[in-house]
Amino acid sequence: MRGVNAALGAAGLAAFLALSEAVPRLGLVEEDHFPPTSRIADALGTELADGAFWAALGDTLTGWALGLAIAVGAGIVVGVVISVVPYLREATASTIEFLRPIPSVALIPLAVLLYGTGLRSVLLLVVYASFWQVLIQVLYGVQDVDPVAEETARSYGLGPWARIRHVLWPTALPYVMTGVRLAAAVALILAVTAELVIGAPGLGARIAVAQTSQAVPEMYALIVVAGLLGLLINVGARSVERRALAWHQSVRGEVAA
């Protein structure tokens, strides 16, 4: 079944690339605005041979990885504390619901004002956007803890840390991994967006330079790289999720299927 799905996916990708090659060649769109696939591939090869490209890719991955690590750590700690401290969840609910919907891009002026156009501005935006993905999932996960299991642990004399380790964490972990997977994608989006808008070093800034200099094939090549990077991050996050939840019924059912 997996082989069939992979073949269908490859066929769909090949058809898309062929269509992208044919549409500008047939004059349906202007090649200056939408180059054929072959020109984009040539531009991609040129980018891969340029050391500045790899430096930009490293800057993007640095902002993504650091921001994601901070957001995941803070989201898990804050989520557990809010959930286990009596009345703290009720006290913070309105604040969370107020802050969570604020678009991270709306904080770009604040980030530039505080930190200029460097890595710290990127981190501010990445952490803010990714933190909520993890926090909300942790809150849902802790809420899903079986009250009977919690009371049983108490009756056996387990302390707070033991209950967190043996009751709360196994229940919340599937939610946490979902939050991490969502946060990984959001972190990449915000990293590239920050670079694109404020000019911080990275793929986004390189895309902006290609666009302003009318290097359209190079611009599309860099966009393709960003898309491939997102695909790899998503595949990697799913792989980590399956490994971390190998004992969980949902993953075991997926593997069996």
Tens digit of each residue's pLDDT, the chain (257 residues): 666 776 777 788 788 888 887 888 877 778 778 888 888 899 999 899 989 999 999 999 999 999 999 999 999 999 989 988 888 888 998 999 999 888 888 899 999 998 888 889 999 999 999 999 999 999 998 888 777 777 777 777 777 788 778 787 888 889 999 999 999 999 999 999 999 999 889 999 999 999 999 888 999 999 999 999 999 999 998 888 888 887 766 665 554 44
Tell me which H or E stretch contains 143.
helix 119-143
pTM of the predicted structure, to 2 decimals: 0.86
Tell me, what's the pLDDT at 250? 61
Tell me, what's the pLDDT at 129? 93
Beta strands in the chain (DSSP E): none
Tell me, what's the pLDDT at 256? 44
Q: Are 255 and 245 in contact (CB under 8 A)?
A: no
Tell me, what's the pLDDT at 257? 46
Residue 81's contacts (CB-CB under 8 Å, 6 or more residues apart) are 88
Token pair for residue 205? Answer: 């800034």
Using CA atoms, how far apart are residues 100 and 97, in angstroms rounded to an integer? 5
- Give CB contacts under 8 A, 24+ apart, made by 7-11: none
Q: Are 79 and 142 in contact (CB under 8 A)?
A: yes
Determine how many CB atoms are found less than 10 A away from the CB of residue 241.
Answer: 20
DSSP 3-state percent helix, strand, coil across the chain (nearest 5): 85, 0, 15
Q: Are 132 and 100 in contact (CB under 8 A)?
A: yes
Residue 92's contacts (CB-CB under 8 Å, 6 or more residues apart) are 82
Q: Are 139 and 82 in contact (CB under 8 A)?
A: yes
